[in-house]
Amino acid sequence: MSTKRQSRAEQLHAATPDSRNRVVDFLRAAAITVVVLGHWTIVAIDADGGIQPHGVLDAERWTHPLTWIFQVMPIFFLVGGYSNGLSWRSARRKQIGYGEWLRTRMRRLGIPLIPLLLAWFVICAVGLALGVPNEVLELASQMALVPTWFLAAYLLVIIVAPACLKLWERFGWWSIVTGIALAGIVDAVSIGLDSTLAGYPNYLLVWASFHQFGFAWLDGRLAGIGRRLLLMAAGAVGLALLVGLGPYPVSMITTAGETISNSSPTRVTMAFLGMVQAGVVLALERPLAALLQRPRLWLVTVLVNQRIMTWFLWHLTVFVGIAHLLIAVGGLGLLPAPLTGIWWATRPLWCLVLLAATGLVVLALGRFEEVRPDTRPAPSVWSPLAAAVFVVAGLAVMANFGIVDADGFNWIWPLLPIVGLLLFGVVTPPNRRKR
C-alpha cells in the first residue's frame, strides 16, 4: 500500500512544473488547517450550559496572545494575492475579459458553497417544525456558518483584485500604505462613534490592502531575508503600538467582555498582524520550498488543496452536530471542563474524532470542488458582479446572525446566494449544462 502511495507521489512530483511556487499551495493548505484546528479548540462545550462559541478565550485571558499565532486568515489573503495576481495577468495575456475571469473565480468558490446552504436551510426548517427552540437553531446555524464571513470578504477582494493589481503596478508600496491609512481612518470613525456598522468598509479596505503584499511577493519586491524581516518588524511595531497604546484588544478573535473586536468588523490591526505573519513565513520560504520537493509532502499538500473548500466550509457544521449529539447523551466522553488537565489531555482525541467525521463529509461532498471548465461565451461584466452582490449579502447576514432568530426562520438568506449564482448565470442547472 505504501509503495502505491509513493508511486503516486513520485508521479505528481515529476508532473509539477518547476515554475510552480509550491510554497503558495502549502501555505494555503496550512492556513486553513490551522483555522480549522483553532475553531475546534476555542469552543467550549458544557453538558449543562451548551455550546460557548469562544468559551476558552472568554475563560482565560492568558489565551488571548495565542490568537496572534492561530488567527492566520491574513496568510490566506497573502496567498490569494499571489494567486489572483498570477491569474489576472494570465487572463490579460490571453485577452480574457474581466467578466469571464470573475465568473470563473466565482464558480470555484460558489459551487462548493451550495450544498452547505441547502443543508442548513433544511436543518433549520425541519428543526423548527419539530419544535427545536429558536435560540438553539440560531446559535447552531450562526456557529456553523462562521466560515462564510471569510468567503464573503474574500469574494469582495476578488472583485477588486484586477483594479488593485493595476494600482500596485502603477504606485507600488504607496498603494498598500494608502489603503492601510484609509483603514485606520475608518477605524477611528467607527470607534469614535461607537458604531460597528461604520467599521464594515474595512472588510474590504484591510483585506484588499493586505492582499497586495501577495502582488509584492509575486513580483519579487519582497525578495531577500532582509526585506522579509523588515516587514515582520514593521508589523510587530505597528501591532504593539495599536494594542499597547491604542484601543484595540490583545485577542485577534472576538471575545466576550471586549467593547472592540479586531475581527468583527475587521480592524487595521489585522493588516499589521498579517505583516508579522507574512514576514515570518516568507523568511522560511527557501527551506519550505526544499521540503516540498519531497514527493509525499507535496502529495499531501495537493490533496488538501483539492478539497480545501469542503474542508473549510463544513468543519464547524460537523463540530456543531457532534457537540449537540454529545450534549444530548449527557456530555459523554469528550466534554470535560475547559482548560482543565483532562481537557488538554483529550484535545488530540477530540480533534481526531472531528477530523474523521469531517473526512467523511469531504469524501461525500468534495466532488463539488471539481468544477468543470466553462465553455460558454464570455458574460457581460454586470452579470457576475450582480451575482457577487447576492452572494456577499446573503453570506454576510448569515455569518453574523445565522438563519433563525427570535422571530423565526429567515429563509431568504441561505437562498439568496444560490439564487444569485443561478439567476445571473454563474452556475447553470445540470439539465441545461448537458445541452
What value does the mean pLDDT take over residues 113-124?
Answer: 95
First and final CA of the chain: distance in angstroms? 42
Alpha helices (H) in 2-72, listed in sequence order: 2-15, 22-42, 55-59, 67-70
Contact 262, 251 (CB under 8 A): yes
What value does the mean pLDDT take over residues 294-305?
Answer: 93
Contact 354, 41 (CB under 8 A): no
Q: Cell numbers at residue 347, please? A: 484535545
- Domain for residue 1, yes or no? no
What value does the mean pLDDT take over residues 214-218?
Answer: 98
- Domain for residue 250, yes or no? yes
Distance CA 19, CA 311 (A): 27
Predicted pLDDT of residue 301: 95
Predicted pLDDT of residue 3: 47
Q: Cell numbers at residue 283, please? A: 523568511
What value does the mean pLDDT take over residues 24-38?
Answer: 94
Residue 47 has pLDDT above 70, yes or no: no
Per residue, the 3-state secondary structure of 370-420, as one string, reads CCCCCCCCCCCCHHHHHHHHHHHHHHHHHHHHCCEECCEECCHHHHHHHHH
Predicted pLDDT of residue 1: 45
Q: Cell numbers at residue 112, please? A: 462548493
Closest CA to 411 of 402, 420, 424: 402
- Domain for residue 288, yes or no? yes
Q: Give CA angle at 56 (52, 60), nearest 5°.
A: 130
Contact 137, 402 (CB under 8 A): yes
Bridge partner list, 45: 51
- Domain for residue 80, yes or no? yes
Q: Cell numbers at residue 16, please? A: 509539477
Residue 10 half-sphere exposure, CB side, CA atoms within 13 Å? Answer: 6
Distance CA 385, CA 371 (A): 20
Cβ-proximal residues to 10 (8 Å cutoff; 6+ apart), any chain:
295
Bridge partner list, 46: 50
What pTM value is reported for the model? 0.92
- Domain for residue 19, yes or no? no
From the centroid of its chain, how far is CA 407? 30
Cβ-proximal residues to 43 (8 Å cutoff; 6+ apart), any chain:
51, 52, 53, 54, 55, 56, 143, 319, 323
Distance CA 381, CA 109 (A): 18
- Domain for residue 408, yes or no? yes
Predicted pLDDT of residue 342: 84
Percentage of the chain exceeding pLDDT 90: 72
- DSSP strand pairing (404-405 vs 408-409): antiparallel
- Domain for residue 11, yes or no? no
Residue 376 half-sphere exposure, CB side, CA atoms within 13 Å? Answer: 19
Percentage of the chain exceeding pLDDT 70: 95
344-351 CB contacts, 8 Å cutoff, 24+ apart: 347/41, 350/40, 351/37, 351/40, 351/41
Cα–Cα distances in Å, from 54 out to 143, 200, 375, 398? 10, 22, 45, 18
Residue 272 has pLDDT above 80, yes or no: yes
Of 38-52, 205-219, 331-345, give the range with the top mean pLDDT. Answer: 205-219
- Domain containing 338: what range? 26-430
- Domain for residue 6, yes or no? no
- Mean pLDDT estimate for the chain: 91
pLDDT 10s digits, 123-146: 999 999 999 999 989 999 989 998
Cβ-proximal residues to 290 (8 Å cutoff; 6+ apart), any chain:
none
Number of domains in the chain: 1
